Each structure stands twice: as structure tokens, then as C-alpha cells.
Structure 1
Amino acid sequence: MAPMVLMFIAGTIKYAERIWALMVAGISITPGSSSMSDYVLNVESSVLDDAESYFQRLHDLLSSESQDKIDYEGLVEVAGKGMRIWLNFLTDMAPFLMWNKGDTIDRAIRKLRGLRKPELRHQIAYKLAEIQLSLVYDFMYTKYGVLQYHLNLVYSGIERLVTFGATSAALVLFLKADLDGQFAYDVRADVKVSYVLLAGAVALDLTSIFMVISSYWPYLPGRSPFVKIGFPGKRAMFNLTKLVHPLGKGLWSGQMAQYNLISECINEKQANLFVWVLRKVGLVSDVKHIKVSPDLKEFLFGKLLDIGATKHVHHYWKWDCSTFRGQWARSTLEETAEGRSIDQSILNLEGGTIASAVLMWHMITEMCFYNTTDDHCSSTLHRDMSRQLSNYVMYLVGKCGVKNGSDGRFEYGKLRRDVSKALAHKRFSGGRLEQKKVILYAYEGRGVFTSRASAAAKELLKITSSAERWEFIATVWTEMLCFLAQNCEAAFHIKNLSTGGEFVTHVRILSIILGIPFLREAWQAQARDDTEYSDFVMF
């Protein structure tokens, strides 16, 4: 009777905990609900207060260290300060907000830019993004994430100690009853099964406790009104966390998908019946995965850092990444004499849907790739980077449907039709198809999409410096990726957290780390005389 009562108590606590966690996680997140609308309407003050605390802690971290290495424990504490900010922005519960808390953001960004080792800038930022997404995943998909966020390790730990103690005591009492001969007349198989179940329950409780104390949550203060600091023994316990999650070990795959539309069309044309069936059932795919190179990370972070360092509102909207108008690319063109001579109207940098821009530039990138043979180190670096970003953004739009509505699907179908018509030409009737030959044929201006892409590619090839040309193309793709990071639906970000998040999700987190969602300074001095910006305070 005693083991049964103890297991009933432990089970009741666990199910009550699960119900409470689901209830709390579901509050204010139902699309279209009045509670969600009220939350978004009143989110400004809480987000700004949290942001001030977060950016101040980030500034202190960057100021206190020798700046020669990453302070792992300090990054975890910074991530804890920004937990609610990330949740609100990542789940689309907070709009872009006008910053009115002084120069806290700008001081933190200046510290980041001023690190003695430039490579530490993006390393710190990307590691902070990894830690933050790990916390968001725990909050969205695990009970202990919700409990730690709303309570504290001290309070949620009491529940775990009670259930572990009750389960362990039940196992000991059951063993004692067995040794005393109380089960002598029972079926022995039933007794063995009971042992297995009790031992399994104890093992599950131990696993749960280990997962909590080896995670980052003990270093977060939680929202409990009674305890405003993390677990008292957190510094000593951080050694266990470093063993489970060492600094050099990534918390995500570190990969991004690659999808090339032309390559897929070629593979479909060459596929025999067996391969065709495998493709239809999804056993053969044209999507590949590659590692995100450090050079690509540094290049993208550098572009975002330039935006984050923009203090004035009117400058910010010129460098905005919440809309795609090709403003980053146009600025890059204007930096050189050859770039300024390019006819920007041919480049399709603005106008139309983002899907049509992605499809167009996917073709432009392929045409420039196969029409040049660059051996210079810098041009090769940006060329490879451009093609990787082109294939990744094409994967997001073409395969994942990010920002790809009915208009985008229509444009996607038109491009596939153009490529299929090109492949039906008699010059491709025999032998193995080579992607280079297909691209060069499209470069001649076949089809609606390919003719426009060909005109843009020919205009870009007028830039004699291959390094400048490929840096410009890489900038176009970087701006597209940042646009998608800011504007794709929250569900896409959240559902991929089980593998550490998509690369585009990390890009969105980086923008928050750099304070991009907060419009700051100049507003107080200039907006009084310029009503153009008065509508951007809150919407």
C-alpha cells in the first residue's frame, strides 16, 4: 500500500505540472485572440525595460574582460537577461519599437566593434545566438523550460526532489516487502515487471534532474516574485554545464540547405523510371546541406553590424532590413566608379514580390558564375559565398515557401517552365546534360525570366573587377536573407528549433543582439520638425 500511495502522489504532481506548463505556454499566443492583441498593444514598456537590462549587461561583459577570449558564463548570463526579448520578437509578439532609454544600445555595439580581436565579434554574437535559441527551444518544447522561466530552479527543483524522493522510497519499500516474503504467493513475473517499472521511473527522474542542472536554466533568474537571482550554487555547477555543452561545441548543426532550381530540372529530365518514383516519394532529394563557413558568418555579421551601428532614424530607414528594396546593394554600387555607371533599372533590385526577386537573382548568379573564371582569392571567396547564399535563399523560398504566396508560386512555376523549355531544345537531346551548358544557353536570353536575368547579368559583367562584382552579388543575397529573417512567420522559426534552428533564424537573433528592432536617437531632436518619422513610434 505504501509504495502505491507514493507513486500516486508522484504521478499526480507530474501530471499537474504538465497541465500547468501547457496552460501557461498557451496563454496569449492564440492567433487573433483578444489576449494576444492586448499583449502586443502593451508590450512596449516591458520589452524596453528588459532590453535596457540586457544591453547594459552585454556592455559590462564586453568591458570587463581582457577581450582576448569568450567569457562563456558571462554569455549565458547575458542570454538570460534577454530571454523575454527574444521570445517576444521571435514569436512576433513585439513590433519594431522606438528606443527612449538613452545610448545603452550604442555603447554596447561600440564595445563589440572595438574588440581587439576582430574575429571575436562574430564568434561572440553567434555563440550568444546559439545559447538563446537553446533556451527558446526549452521554453517552447519542454516542461522544465516553462517552469524555469516562470518560477526558478529553487521552486521547480522542490517538485523534482519530491517526485524523485517518492519514487525512490516506493522502490525501496517494494524491495523490502519482497525480501520480507509478502509476494511469495504472487506470480513472479508480475513482481519483476513491477521492479522494471519502478526502476524506470527512478531513472527518468534522475535523467530529468540531470537535464536541468546541466542546462543553462540554473543561471536565469526566472520571473518568480520571490527569487530574483539564479540558483545559489550556479557558479560551482557551471563546470557540469561546460562538460555537457563545451564552448567549442556548437548547439546546432552549423549547416544550411542548398537547392539549385536548374540542377533539379536537369536531374528530373535525366531520371529513369525508378529514380523518378524515388523522387516522387521523397527518397531522393535535390536539397543538400553544407557547413556555414566562418567567412560567410563574418561577412553577414559585418553587414548587420553596420546596420546596428546606425543611430539615426532617417539613416536607419535608409538601411532598413524589414523591407527589401535593394538599398544595401545600391549603396555598394555607389562606392565605385564602375558601379555608379551600371544601369540599376536593369538589375531588378526592387519592385515585385520578394519571390520574383529571389528567382531572378538565382538565375543572375548562375549566369555570372559560369561566365567568369576568377582565380583571385577575394573574388573566389565572394563568388562561392554568393552561390551558397543563392542556393540557401532559393531553398527557403522554393522548398519551404517562406514569403512565397500565390504570386510567388506562379513566378516559380514560370521559371521552371522556362528552364524545361530550354532543356527540350535539340542541342540537349542526347548525352549527359551539363549545368554550365544549360546556363550559357539561358544566357542567350531564352524565356521571360531568363531574358531579364540575362540582361542583368550582362550589365553586371561590365564591372571589370571580379572582386567588386561578386561582393555586390553577395551583398544582394545578404540583404535578401536578412529580409526573410525579419519577415518570415514565427512558426517557421519555432518548428526548426529541435535541430538548433535554421540559419535564417540565427540571422534574426543576430539582428536582435545588435538592437536593430529598436529605432533610436535623432528622433527626439528631429521628429518634432519632420512628421515623416512621427508615425514610426509605434504601430
Structure 2
Amino acid sequence: MIDPIPDRLKRIYVQWNIRGAILFSLGLQIILVLFASFRKRTANKFMIFLLWSCYLLADTVAVFAIGHIASSQGNGDPSDPPDTGNLLVFWSPFLLLHLGGPDTFTAFALEDNELWVRHLLFLASQVIPALYLFILTFGGSSLILPTILLFVAGCIKYLERTYALYLASMDQFRESAHQKPDAWPNYANALIKEYSSKIESKLPAKIIIVSEYGKITYQRFIRTPASAKLTDIQVLKKAHPFFDIFKGLIGDLNISFQHRMESRDFFTKLLPDEALQVLEVELNFLYEALFTKAVVVHSKAGYVCRFVSSTAVVAGLAIFIFHVKKHGRYGNFDIGVTYALLFSALALDFIALLRSIFSNWTVVALTKSNYRESLPWWQSWAIRSRLKRWSKTIPVYNLIGYCLETRETWIRRVIHDTGLGGDFMDGILYVKRREFSMDLWKFIFQELMNKSRLAEDDLDTANKIYAARGNFILQEMEWDAYRDNLTPYITDVGYDVSLLIWHIATELLFNTNPNKPDLVDIESSLSSVSTRKKYCKIMSDYMLYLLIMQPTMMAASAGISKFRFLDTCKEAKRFFEGEGIRSAAAHEEACVKILEWNTDVPIQFVLFDASRLAKELNKLDEDQRWELLSKVWVELVSYAAGHCRAIAHAQQLSSGGELLTFVWLLMSHFGLTDKFQLPKSRIMPQLIFGK
């Protein structure tokens, strides 16, 4: 039988499979260490795909190399130097280091954290072959000491990763977020014991009942001086306690009413940009707790483990240098690979050390020291020169634009019929990204703060605001004349249909206005009407993007949103074909034609309802029209933010972040959520001595 693989290729494979895998594993680690933190700063699909690929390949390649090192003992290439086998065994602990991964990347998705038990078993499965290799070479290898040192460092690294996954698993994360239990049961038990003791001693005693409930006390925020803005250090000092409290939302836990009052008092006294900074830092803490080793590294045990592992690597390097000078019976290339592994391990540890020193966790730890009035200059510089903590972009997706741009080709039919990345391709081709606008944030912040002040301590009003999706704003007196005509487009249809109707209506009004504003620079406009148009346009396109491209972030009622969208697209395409509109350049003409549609005869089409809604809104003055639309869109955004599962918000932190997540957390701080414990009055017994 003829062997299809030439002997020369077999020799090349035998000689290079381990070396190639080792170098490839090292390259993957370098990429992950240098670029893993980009996950929270970019929404670029190709960058995220690259990091995802490296994350998956890193474990596979390391396991492949360890297995081949074990199988190569006694079966090496005869042309290799005599001690090559011992050197290969010395390489195996580096693969454990690689399996431990970088500090900035433990999990790609939240589901990875739930697999911490598998990683623990996986560690055992890799330690066993490593121990087997040690036994094989124990008597005849002079590299056994540095091998053991590197093995200890590798085990520590992998245990760090496994423990980080364990702490970020949902059960444990929820447990860490539990607030201190109420002292009432302890008080009641102590009271009963004391009363029984007095009765047994025949001392006069009785229990009376008083009302304990009074006004809830909480720590108020006072600016000093009143006009001063929050410093970067103050932002960190405020954000970290809020992170500790509000991380319970990820585990569907309720927040105490006292914390609601403290948080609401603080955020209602902030400027919009200050609130954004606090939210950015708070979400950054959440990201690092869920997707990195930050919680493990920034602990006493973490400091000890990091010192031991780094010391072991340094000692291993020193011993190897001495050993090579004395017993240099290895190939030059293999010696070069070994030095690359050792110096890379040191360099990656040094990078991790720098990141740890300049991290927010270290700053918070230093500011908690009572004897420190200010931070060292290098820490202050690190805070001021920080990189952005999220992508600061807003993805937008437009229904009419999509219908005009898409062409039904056989390639598209194959992609969509087979499910081979249709949404992924649409996301690349038709989703655009706009720069995050501080003016838009200020507008959303002001609207939510006004509603928070309106609710104050009235939880019924807060619940109405939380449940509103455009109908709450219509209850204001100034909209009395239009309420009956506009409310059905909100309350008589599901949330997903309502979103589509208001999206199309906004698009029609935006494009049929002769003074259409420029969307590139939202801060450039001095006209309040023009600015509100931009707000509406961006929020409208953003919400459609979430509805179609990120359905897990939408309210549970938006379950069939994709089918609604596709049906509406079919309606629109048929309408455009009937009107002879076949070019994306005819976007404005398409909007005019839809707006001119005869709506006297009712038809059960989303496009038809949107045209009728646009005509109703056209009855308002331009100022009123865009004021109402902008306020309705804030409610539609806040409804989606509040009714999205908290775990879906957390997942987006590893993909550049979402504006919706900031709105969700801001609403929580303003007390506009259903995740607060209701204050209860309590009947408090007291023990009275004497007659």
C-alpha cells in the first residue's frame, strides 16, 4: 500500500509539531494580553471575532502541545541533541501558564463562568500528564528544579483563572451581592430570652408594643464647595460602593429602600457628564468582576499568589541560564525558544503588574486608607490619562433604508434560507455607528431626572414611569388635545409593533421636512427643534437596531419582533415597487410617498399605521411635534432598558457596551425600577422593668 504522505513531510511534522504549537500558543497569549481589554472599548465585529478565536484556540493549542510532549518521550527525532527530551518537559509548565490565561480575559461570555467546575477538572487532567513527565525525567534531568518551579507558577495561574470563573458564576456572584441581614430576628430572640429570665427570677417585667417605623435615614450627598465638579478620585470613591450595592441587580436581587434613597439623592445632584463618569466606572468594575481576574488579583491571597508565581519564573530563568552555560547540550533553536518562553512569561507578568498598579481597584484600595489625603502622582496621572471605558458609539439601523438597499439575490436567499449568518451579514452591511453624543445623553439624563423628582418617595408613580412606553408623557396637560388620537399607537398594540410604528413615523417626518438637520455633528446645531429632530432620529434608529439585531436586550413582549419586521419590509418593498422606487438614493421620495398614502380606508399594516400616526403628529406645531416625539422616544428607550434582563446588560459589557445599559443603570440609581424592597413599618416590642 502506498503511503500518501511523503517521509519528508512526516519528519518535518515530528520535528516541528511541538515547537510550532509552543510558539503558536505563546503568540496567542501575547495577542490576548495586549488586546483583551479592547473588548470593552470596541464594538468592531472583526476585533471581537479575532479575540474570540484566540480565546478558543489558546486552550486547544496548549492541550495539543502537552499531549504531544508526553507522547514524544522516548520517541523523539534521532537527529535531535541528546537532552532535547528533557527540554521539552521543561516547556510543559509554560503551557499551564498559557492555560491560566491573561488577567484581562477569563471568560468570553457569562456562560463561560458557569463552567468553572470543568476547568477545575481540566486542571487536574493536565497536572497528571505533567507529573508523569516529571517521573520519567526525574533521575536523568538536570532541569528538574526549574521545571518544578515553573510547574508551581503554572498551577497558580490556572487556579487563579478557575477561581475567578467561580466567583463570577451566577450563584456565587449573587451570594457576594447579598446585603447584610436584618438585625430584627436577633433582637426579637434576645428580647424573649431576657423576658423569660426576668420572669424566672420573679422580677416584675412586661412587654409593650411601639411603632418602630419612621422616616428612613440615609447619608446625603453635599458638594464642597457647592459649585465644584467631582474629581476623578471622587468619581472612583463613589462608583465602587454603588457597584457593590447595585451588582445585585445582575442576580435579580432587590436593593434596599435606603440604598434607593442614597443613590437617588446623589445622582439628582450631579451634572449629566458627572453621572456618566460614575456610571462608566461602575460598569467597568462590573465588567472586570465578570470577565477578568480582577477580584482574585486584588485580594490578599491574590497578591501572595502573584508574588510566588513571578518569583518562581525569575528563579527558573536564573537556573536555566546557569544550566545552559554548564550543560549546553541542546539545539540552538530550542534554546532560543526556551528563552522566548521565559522572557515572555516575565514580560507578561510585568505588564500584568503595571495594569494592577494603575487599575481602579488599586486606586479605591488606596483611597480607603484613612491616613491618605491624596493619591501618589503616578496614580493620579493614570486616572487622568485613562482610556475610554466603552465604545462610545451608537449603532443605528433604518427600516426604510434597509428595504431600499437590499436586493433579493440567490446569494442572499441561500444565506437566509440556511441561516448561515444572515443577521451577521446584515449587521456588517446595513448597521452604521454614530459617535456617542453628550448632548443626547444630557437630554436623556434630564428627562429621567425630572421623572425621578416627580416620583420622589411615591412608589406608585415610580412604577407607572417604569412601565410607561410613551403613554406617561401624554398624561401631561399640554397634550390633552392630542392624547386620544396618539395613545392607541402605544397602548393598543404590542411593544414591538409600537416601536416599528413610531420608528417609521419618525423617519417620515424627519425626511419630509425641508430643513433636515445634519446627523454627523449633533452638537453643532443651535436650534432646539433641529437638535430634537436629531435626538429622535438617533434614538429611533438605535431602538430598531436593538429590536432586530439585539433581541435579547429588548422587553420580553418583543418576542416575535423579527417576524413583524420582515412582514413590514415585505409591505414596504411591495409599496415601493408599485410607486416605481427602486434606488436607495430615493430615500426621501419614498418617505413622501408613504406620507401621501391614502389612509381613509383602514388597513391592518404597520406601514399604514405609521403613515396615519405621522399625519396626526403633523397637526402639531413643529416645536410641539418634535418635543413630544423626543419625550416619547426617551420613554420607549427607558422601557426597553428597564425591562431587559440585567444579565443581558452585563453580557454587552464585553462587546463595547450599549447606551441602553447606561440608561438602565441610571434608571436604577434614580429609583425608577421594580428591584427595590418596599419599606415596611414594623411593630417593635420593648421590655419594661418594674411595676
Q: Into which bin does the TM-score normalised by the smaller protein fall? A: 0.7 to 0.9
Kindly provide the amino acid, as one letter, of the partner of residue 502 in structure 1. E
Say what the alpha-carbon RMSD is for the aligned residues: 3.7
Greater alpha carbon shift after TM alignment, 358-367 vs 64-73: 64-73
Partner of 2:88: none
What is the CA distance between 1:353 and its match in structure 2?
Answer: 2.0
Partner of 2:236: 76
Kindly provide the amino acid, as one letter, of the partner of residue 111 in structure 1. K
Alignment check: 8 A CA contact 2:253 2:675 kept: no
Partner of 2:686: none
Deviations 1:88-111 (A, max 9, x none): 21x24224x561579544543453
Alpha-carbon distance in 1 for matches of 2:530, 2:569: 28
Larger CA Rg, structure 1 vs 2: 2
Alignment of 1:377-396 (within 5 A): 377-396=527-546
Alignment of 1:459-498 (within 5 A): 459-464=616-621, 466-498=622-654
Kindly provide the amino acid, as one letter, of the partner of residue 313 in structure 1. D
Question: Measured at CA, do residues 100 and 330 of structure 1 come closer, stay the same or move farther in structure 2, by a change above 3 Å?
Answer: same
Deviations 1:489-512 (A, max 9, x none): 334322221244111111112223
What is the CA distance between 1:20 and its match in structure 2?
Answer: 2.0
**Residue 209 of structure 1 pairs with residue 353 of structure 2:** yes
What is the CA distance between 1:290 and its match in structure 2?
Answer: 0.4
Alignment check: 8 A CA contact 1:47 1:85 kept: no
Counterpart of 1:412 (choices 565, 587, 591) is 565
Question: Measured at CA, do residues 123 and 343 of structure 1 come closer, stay the same or move farther in structure 2, by a change above 3 Å?
Answer: closer
Partner of 2:252: 93
Question: Measured at CA, do residues 5 and 520 of structure 1 come closer, stay the same or move farther in structure 2, by a change above 3 Å?
Answer: closer
What is the CA distance between 1:22 and its match in structure 2?
Answer: 1.9
Partner of 1:116: none
Partner of 2:610: 453
Alignment check: 8 A CA contact 2:641 2:660 kept: yes
Aligned to 2:580, the other structure's residue is in SS state helix
Question: Measured at CA, do residues 493 and 406 of structure 1 come closer, stay the same or move farther in structure 2, by a change above 3 Å?
Answer: closer
What is the CA distance between 1:342 and its match in structure 2?
Answer: 1.1
Deviations 1:371-430 (A, max 9, x none): 33358811100011101100001100122113364433332232112111112214326x
Aligned to 1:256, the other structure's residue is in SS state strand
Alpha-carbon distance in 2 for matches of 1:517, 1:109: 15
**Residue 341 of structure 1 pairs with residue 497 of structure 2:** no
Question: Measured at CA, do residues 500 and 77 of structure 1 come closer, stay the same or move farther in structure 2, by a change above 3 Å?
Answer: farther
Deviations 1:288-324 (A, max 9, x none): 0001212111000001112332213255346522x23
**What stretches of structure 2 of length at least 5 have no aligned partner?**
1-143, 184-216, 416-420, 517-525, 684-691
Aligned to 2:513, the other structure's residue is in SS state coil
Kindly provide the amino acid, as one letter, of the partner of residue 408 in structure 1. S
**Residue 355 of structure 1 pairs with residue 496 of structure 2:** yes
Alignment of 1:19-98 (within 5 A): 19-26=162-169, 28=171, 43=178, 59-60=220-221, 62-65=222-225, 67-89=227-249, 91-95=250-254, 97=255
Give the TM-score, by structure 1 length. 0.79
Alignment check: 8 A CA contact 2:571 2:607 kept: yes
What is the CA distance between 1:204 and its match in structure 2?
Answer: 1.5
Alignment of 1:140-155 (within 5 A): 140-148=290-298, 152=299, 154-155=300-301
Partner of 2:78: none
Deviations 1:178-213 (A, max 9, x none): 33x222x33333222211111111112112111211
**What stretches of structure 1 of length at least 5 have no aligned partner?**
31-35, 49-54, 113-120, 223-227, 529-539
Question: Measured at CA, do residues 203 and 314 of structure 1 come closer, stay the same or move farther in structure 2, by a change above 3 Å?
Answer: closer
Counterpart of 2:441 (choices 294, 297, 302) is 297
Partner of 1:13: 156
Give the TM-score, by structure 2 length. 0.63
Q: Which runs of 4+ in 1 moved over 6 A?
A: 230-234, 271-279, 518-525
What is the CA distance between 1:139 and its match in structure 2?
Answer: 0.8
Aligned to 1:78, the other structure's residue is in SS state helix
Kindly provide the amino acid, as one letter, of the partner of residue 474 in structure 1. S
Kindly provide the amino acid, as one letter, of the partner of residue 574 in structure 2. K
Alignment of 1:120-159 (within 5 A): 121-148=271-298, 152=299, 154-159=300-305
Partner of 1:423: 576
Counterpart of 2:330 (choices 178, 181, 186) is 186
Alignment check: 8 A CA contact 1:324 1:350 kept: no
Alpha-carbon distance in 1 for matches of 2:310, 2:394: 41
Kindly provide the amino acid, as one letter, of the partner of residue 481 in structure 2. S
Alpha-carbon distance in 1 for matches of 2:147, 2:154: 11
Deviations 1:26-80 (A, max 9, x none): 25169xxxxx7xx69x9565699xxxxxx967x44x5235533331111111111
Alpha-carbon distance in 2 for matches of 1:362, 1:387: 8
Alpha-carbon distance in 1 for matches of 2:182, 2:632: 31
